[in-house]
Amino acid sequence: MLAADFEVERRDFAVRIAIQLEGGERVAVLGPSGAGKTTFLEAVAGLVPLTSGEIRLDQRRLSSAARPRSDIGVGRRGVGLLRQNPGLFPHLTVLENICYPPGANPGAATAAAARMGLGTLLQARPRGLSGGEAQRVALCRTLQTGVQLLCLDEPFSSLDRPLGLELLELVRQELEGRGTGSLLVTHQLQDAQAFADRVAVLYQGSLLQVGDPRELVLRPKTALVASLVGYRGWLRRGGRLWAIHPDLVQISSAVDGDGAISGRVVGMRPDGARIDVELESEGEWVGRFHCPFSEAPELDLRFSFHADLATVFSGVESDLD
Amino acid sequence: MTIPPAPTALRGSGVRVSTGAALVGALIIWVALLGPLIALLAHLTPSSVVSALRQPGAFQPLEVSVLASLIALGVILLLGTPLAYLMARGRLPFPRLWEVGVILPLLTPPLVIGLLLIFMVGPATPIGEALSHLHLTASDTFFALVVAEVYEAVPYYVLGAAAAFAAVDPELEQAGALLGDGRWRTWRRVTVPLAAPGLATALAVTWARAMGAFGAVLIIAYHPFGLPMQIWVTLQETGLSSALPFALVLLVVALPLPVAAYIWSSRARRRL
Amino acid sequence: MSLVPVAAASTGTPELANVASAGSLQLLMDRYLGPPFIRQTGDEYQNQSAGSQGLAEEIVAGELTPNVFMPIGAAPMALLEPKFTTWAVQFAASPLVVAYYPQGPHAPELKKISEGKLPIKDLFTLMASPGFKLGRSDPALDPQGQGFIEMVHLAEKYLGVSPATANADLGGSNGGSQIFSETGLEPTLQAGQLDAASAYLPEAVQLGLPYVALPDTMNFGDPKDAAIYDKASLTLSTGQVVTGSLLDLEVSVLKVGGDPAAGAAFVRFLLSTKARHSLTKEGYTLLPPALLGHKAAAPKSIRELIQKS
């Protein structure tokens, strides 16, 4: 459905994207701040011109660097955009906001609003809405435009986590129900995994890896990707780099053999209903992992774990910034 | 060692003193501004007002002023609004130049504007000759009065309207575009309603300025008489007591529009 | 006239000659009469120039309190009698002319008329032609404005100008569009946006504008033609009827305004050779000083001065 193969020059680096989305597919774009995620979405939404390449949606050429004059205008691309600022029109009621898009059907709009829990707020003004309610209105409004692809630029990052997750789930349901595709920008891996069919890792303008959410975490292609998907511990051994993911560490006091990595517990800290444990191996800080209170190890406990629970990189792939 | 906070009593009175001082200052300036009005009312007797207004043709200057000012306001709205919007959105090349161009007439004494307008739109100038093909003369005519009022009043509108447009969040206009609006629809349904309170107050000031225009009018549009000119001439013809009633008429007629605009504007603002 | 020294108003503190004078006298007063007066007498001096009729109204209403009034024409002075003064000295005249814009399309023809190569009657035909832009000052406020209208009526009587032409000269039904404020009239002419305008001869001289002189019988500048001038009249919007009269410079010391000695000193200065020389240079027609009105009421020093000359 979406065929994007383009480049946008930015001040510090160029954002280079080559990706395709099937109809109704949801892709999450994961990366640290400044990676170019917003630029990516803005290019797809038509807010920035392309430096090279083009973007197509279902054979329609939305943007082209070669022929910028024929770029399709922002509201007519079939692409919607939700951002941290919901952009509700303060002088209109919630219902008027939702029905704002040209060609919006008031009946369908009202039904959608009810489905999203906005039924009692239809006559309210944006000023009186909470952050979560406002984003729901913004979502409902955008969906009235009949978009084929919804771009989400971390719209819930300013809300508290549980609410953010709840809203993300709401979005997912609505999109699923309509068969609308989506590009979700996030820096939270969990959100990406919960929401998307595929995850794309973006770093300094380049897509490092695109794939199934689980595959990405279990088999990152490079150490850089590993660092972006949650690997926290690093060990250099025999000319190779070992990446250790805290969720994949199991402490056992008796693992032997060639593949064992041994070390000791050097710190512990409560973290909600579990404990954050810090490990060291051969003088190197290896990382943190969690365990329940009931399984809290002793400080200075010697541990070892099996090497094949770590992911190993060699050569070029072991490049880390 | 940290400095202990000021005792609550002292802190409170500090706030009281500065609020009090501000209030006194405000009162002084407000009374000063109203002083001339109070003087006017003190010097008018109902009979003098009635007899002055009973003169034949006494209401002619009123009609002239109101009509000319309404037309001037319309011209200013039509031509000044695009300029104000483009200035506010920074879409004009060399923005400082445009700003200076709007402020210059404001800095120029109206009398001088009038003198310079002679050179610009007088009957024997290129513009004046072009106007004469449209059967318009910008010298001592109703048309000239409208021109003089526009020149005296338009900077106030443009500056006020630009501020009103600048206060509209550009992201809202972008939101409209993203939802499929054409430029015009976003302008109509988002920009203007949100800028409207500021536009209303700008218009109020502009109207006041147009109704009271005198300096440029004295030079290029002595005839037909509007109210300010009527006051000026009557003053010299028959003296203060017969001129002041017209000053009262000017105030009574010109005041409702700005007051209404301000009331509407503050109500509209509260709804946003 | 012999040179008469003008003594200081008083031997003690300087007094103030607070003058209200006709608008067209501004330059003369500020540059050629005021400073010499100050130097010669040591008195203080202050001048305000505006339309004579308007000034008279303001004095009557108590808004202005000068101690010397110097209008052009008798009508403004008449307004002040008898409450503010009962006498006046007539000392010069300021005849009416038609000044014109030298680079205008009608300038060549106007030049010929002014040189006598074409009859003066042609002036009126020319002014009546469509597209001729004529300006004049407000008759309600200014003797010049009144004089211009009266002049056109006299032209009807004595030059055989047809009533239709005369009407057209004064703008017909749209006469208002010919009337300019004093402040605006001359700049508009100088900028070339008028073809011609009413003016006093001294004004035209001072501004360096070419002009068409009018016959003595209708320029309100020759005392001998007073009877003719009298035949033209005009009703102002206030109801006051003004008859045409000599556009003379009159001066009087007013009962209000204080410092009568300074006022009288200023009048004596006006009659001095130096002052009269300045008047001639600026284009005024000198008249032998004459006391009008209740002669005995004038200060002795002034009476004596006039008798001597």
pLDDT at C4 over 50: no
The arrangement of secondary structure in C16-93+247-308, i.e. its CATH architecture, is: 3-Layer(aba) Sandwich (3.40)
Instruction: Give CA–CA dist C58/C256, Å, rounded.
Output: 13
Least confident of A223-227, C110-114, C264-268: A223-227
Kindly state whether B120 is in contact with chain C, defined as any CB-CB distance less than 8 angstroms. no
Largest CA distance in chain B: 84
Question: CB neighbours (10 Å) of residue B49?
Answer: 16
Could you say which residues from 34 to 73 on chain C have a Cβ atom under 8 Å away from some Cβ of chain B?
A: 50-51, 53-55, 57-58, 60-61, 63
A vs B, Cβ pairs < 8 A, gives: 52
Residue B9 lies in a domain: no
Kindly state whether C193 is in contact with chain B, defined as any CB-CB distance less than 8 angstroms. yes
What predicted TM-score, i.e. pTM, was given to this entire model? Answer: 0.80
Give the closest of A73, A87, A145 to B171, CB-based.
A87
Residue A79: pLDDT band by 50, 70, 90 thresholds?
very high
Burial class (CB in 10 A: 0-12, 13-18, 19+), A291: middle
How much of chain B, in percent, has pLDDT values that exceed 90? 51
In angstroms, the first-to-last Cα distance of chain C is 5
Residue B5: per-residue pLDDT = 54
Instruction: Tell me if C140 sits within 8 A of B233, measured CB to CB.
Output: yes
B interface test, pick of C80, C181, C237 with most B CB neighbours within 10 Å: C181
Instruction: Give CA–CA dist C205/C95, Å, rounded.
Output: 12
Which is higher by pLDDT, C2 or A298?
A298
Residue C6: per-residue pLDDT = 52
Among residues A242, A258, A254, which one has the least CA distance to residue A309? A242
Among residues B46, B159, B142, which one has the least CA distance to residue B107? B159
Residue B4: per-residue pLDDT = 55
Which is higher by pLDDT, A315 or B174?
B174
Q: Report, as an integer, the average pLDDT of A163-191.
A: 90
Give the closest of B177, B179, B272 to A90, CB-based.
B272
**Which part of chain C is CATH 3.40.190.10?**
16-93+247-308, 96-241
Instruction: Tell me if C296 sits within 8 A of C64, measured CB to CB.
Output: no
For residue C137, give Cα distances in angstroms to C170, C176, C234.
Answer: 12, 10, 15
User: Which sign does the torsion angle of CA C169, C174, C179, C180 carry?
Assistant: negative
Hey, what are C263's tokens? 């006022």
* Chain A residues interacting with chain B (CB cutoff of 8 angstroms): 45, 47, 73-76, 80-81, 85, 87, 89-91, 100-103, 125, 127, 141-142, 145
Residue C2: pLDDT band by 50, 70, 90 thresholds?
very low
Chain C residues closer than 8 Å to B117 by CB = none
Residue C5: per-residue pLDDT = 47
Instruction: Give CA–CA dist C174/C182, Å, rounded.
Output: 19
Which is higher by pLDDT, A308 or B102?
B102
The number of folded domains in chain B is 2
Contact B125 C63 (CB under 8 A): no
3-state secondary structure of A68: helix
Among residues C2, C218, C186, which one has the least CA distance to residue C101? C186
Residue B186: per-residue pLDDT = 92
Same domain, B24 and B151: no
Instruction: Tell me if A170 sits within 8 A of A150, measured CB to CB.
Output: no
Contact B180 A91 (CB under 8 A): no
User: Which sign does the torsion angle of CA C184, C185, C189, C190 carry?
Assistant: negative
Residue A307: per-residue pLDDT = 56
Q: Report, as an integer, the average pLDDT of C208-234.
A: 89
ipTM more than 0.85?
no
3-state secondary structure of C247: coil
Residue A314: pLDDT band by 50, 70, 90 thresholds?
low
How much of chain C, in percent, has pLDDT values that exceed 90? 33
Residues spanned by the domain of B28: 15-44
Kindly state whether B24 is in contact with chain C, defined as any CB-CB distance less than 8 angstroms. no
Determine phi and psi for C287, rounding to 5 degrees.
Answer: -115, 150
Residue C61: pLDDT band by 50, 70, 90 thresholds?
confident
A interface test, pick of B179, B184, B269, B271 with most A CB neighbours within 10 Å: B179
Contact B218 C178 (CB under 8 A): no
Residue B36 lies in a domain: yes
3-state secondary structure of B36: helix
Residues composing chain A = 321
CATH number assigned to the domain covering A2-218: 3.40.50.300
Contact A47 B272 (CB under 8 A): no
Sort residue C42 into left (φ over 0), alpha (ψ -120 to 50) or beta: left
Angle of helix B192-211 versus helix B256-271 axis, rounded to 10: 160
Contact C61 B233 (CB under 8 A): no
Contact B128 C193 (CB under 8 A): yes
Kindly state whether C188 is in contact with chain B, defined as any CB-CB distance less than 8 angstroms. yes
Instruction: Tell me if A147 sits within 8 A of A183, measured CB to CB.
Output: no
Hey, what are B159's tokens? 């500056």
Last residue of a domain, one of B5, B23, B44: B44
- Per DSSP (E only), the strands in chain A are 2-9, 14-21, 26-30, 52-57, 60-64, 79-82, 149-153, 181-186, 198-203, 206-211, 233-237, 240-244, 260-271, 274-281, 284-292, 302-306, 311-313
Residue A318: per-residue pLDDT = 58
Residue A309: pLDDT band by 50, 70, 90 thresholds?
low
In angstroms, the first-to-last Cα distance of chain B is 47
Give the closest of B171, B177, B271 to A74, CB-based.
B177
Determine phi and psi for A241, rounding to 5 degrees.
Answer: -110, 125
Contact B224 C141 (CB under 8 A): no
> pLDDT of A249-265, one tens digit each?
666 655 555 556 677 78
Residue of B nearest to A88 (CA): B172
> pLDDT of B41-95, one tens digit each?
887 888 878 887 887 778 889 999 999 999 999 999 999 999 999 999 988 899 8
Same domain, B28 and B121: no
Q: Report, as an integer, the average pLDDT of B145-154.
A: 94
Q: Report, as an integer, the average pLDDT of C195-213.
A: 91
Give the closest of B118, B125, B140 to C177, CB-based.
B140
Q: Report, as an integer, the average pLDDT of C268-291.
A: 90
Residue A311: per-residue pLDDT = 66
Contact B124 C184 (CB under 8 A): no
Among residues A96, A134, A128, which one has the least CA distance to residue A116? A134
Question: A103 to chain B, minimum CA–CA distance in Å?
Answer: 9
Instruction: Tell me if B165 sits within 8 A of B196, measured CB to CB.
Output: no
Q: Report, as an integer, the average pLDDT of C22-36.
A: 88
Looking at every residue in chain A, the average pLDDT score rounds to: 85
Instruction: Give CA–CA dist C309/C306, Å, rounded.
Output: 5
Residue A260: per-residue pLDDT = 63
Instruction: Tell me if A202 sits within 8 A of A36, measured CB to CB.
Output: yes
Place of tokens 């994961």: A30
A-B interface (Cβ pairs under 8 Å ≥ 3): yes
Give the closest of C58, C141, C191 to B119, CB-based.
C191
Q: Report the CATH number at residue B204.
A: 1.10.3720.10
CATH number assigned to the domain covering A223-318: 2.40.50.140
pLDDT at A174 over 70: yes
Same domain, B29 and B147: no
Contact C188 B124 (CB under 8 A): no
Contact A74 B190 (CB under 8 A): no
Q: Report, as an integer, the average pLDDT of C124-151.
A: 89
Residue C210: pLDDT band by 50, 70, 90 thresholds?
very high
Residues composing chain C = 309
Among residues C277, C46, B190, which one has the least CA distance to residue A96? B190
Kindly state whether B171 is in contact with chain A, defined as any CB-CB distance less than 8 angstroms. yes
Chain C residues closer than 8 Å to B137 by CB = 177
Alpha-helix runs per DSSP H in chain C: 26-27, 34-41, 52-60, 74-80, 107-114, 121-128, 143-159, 163-169, 182-190, 201-207, 226-229, 260-270, 273-281, 300-308
Chain A residues closer than 8 Å to B174 by CB = 47, 74, 87
Touching C (3+ Cβ pairs <8 A), the chains are B
Which is higher by pLDDT, B54 or C35?
C35
Residue A92: per-residue pLDDT = 93
pLDDT at C8 over 60: no
Instruction: Give CA–CA dist A269/A284, Å, rounded.
Output: 19
Domain range C96-241, its CATH number among 3.40.50.300, 3.60.20.40, 3.20.20.410, 3.40.190.10 = 3.40.190.10
Sheet of A240-244: strands edge to edge? A233-237, A240-244, A311-313
Question: CB neighbours (10 Å) of residue B158?
Answer: 26
Among residues C44, C47, C42, C43, which one has the least CA distance to residue C29? C47
Residue A236: pLDDT band by 50, 70, 90 thresholds?
confident
Residue A85: per-residue pLDDT = 92
Residue B4 lies in a domain: no
Residue B35 lies in a domain: yes
B interface test, pick of A100, A142, A145, A148 with most B CB neighbours within 10 Å: A100
Residue B8: per-residue pLDDT = 53
Residues composing chain B = 272
Instruction: Give CA–CA dist C76/C67, Å, rounded.
Output: 15
Q: Assess whether the previous peptide bond of B224 is cis (omega < 30° from 0).
A: yes
Report strand pairing: A2-9 vs A14-21.
antiparallel
Q: Report, as an integer, the average pLDDT of A165-181.
A: 90
Among residues C271, C285, C253, C290, which one has the least CA distance to residue C2? C271
Same domain, B92 and B165: yes
Instruction: Give CA–CA dist C99/C111, Å, rounded.
Output: 10
Hey, what are C271's tokens? 């009659």
pLDDT at B159 over 80: yes
Residue of B nearest to A140 (CA): B179
Residue B8 lies in a domain: no
Which of A266-280, B101-115, C47-61: highest mean pLDDT?
Answer: B101-115
Please report, for chain A, the start and end positions of each structural domain, with discontinuous segments joined by +: 2-218, 223-318
Hey, what are B89's tokens? 């959105």
pLDDT at C198 over 50: yes
Chain A residues closer than 8 Å to B183 by CB = none
Chain B residues closer than 8 Å to A81 by CB = 178
pLDDT at B222 over 70: yes
DSSP letters along A160-220, please? Answer: -HHHHHHHHHHHHHHHHHHT-EEEEEES-HHHHHHH-SEEEEEETTEEEEEE-HHHHHHS-
Residue A67: per-residue pLDDT = 85
Instruction: Tell me if C23 sits within 8 A of C142, measured CB to CB.
Output: yes
Instruction: Give CA–CA dist C99/C187, Å, rounded.
Output: 12
Contact A145 B177 (CB under 8 A): no
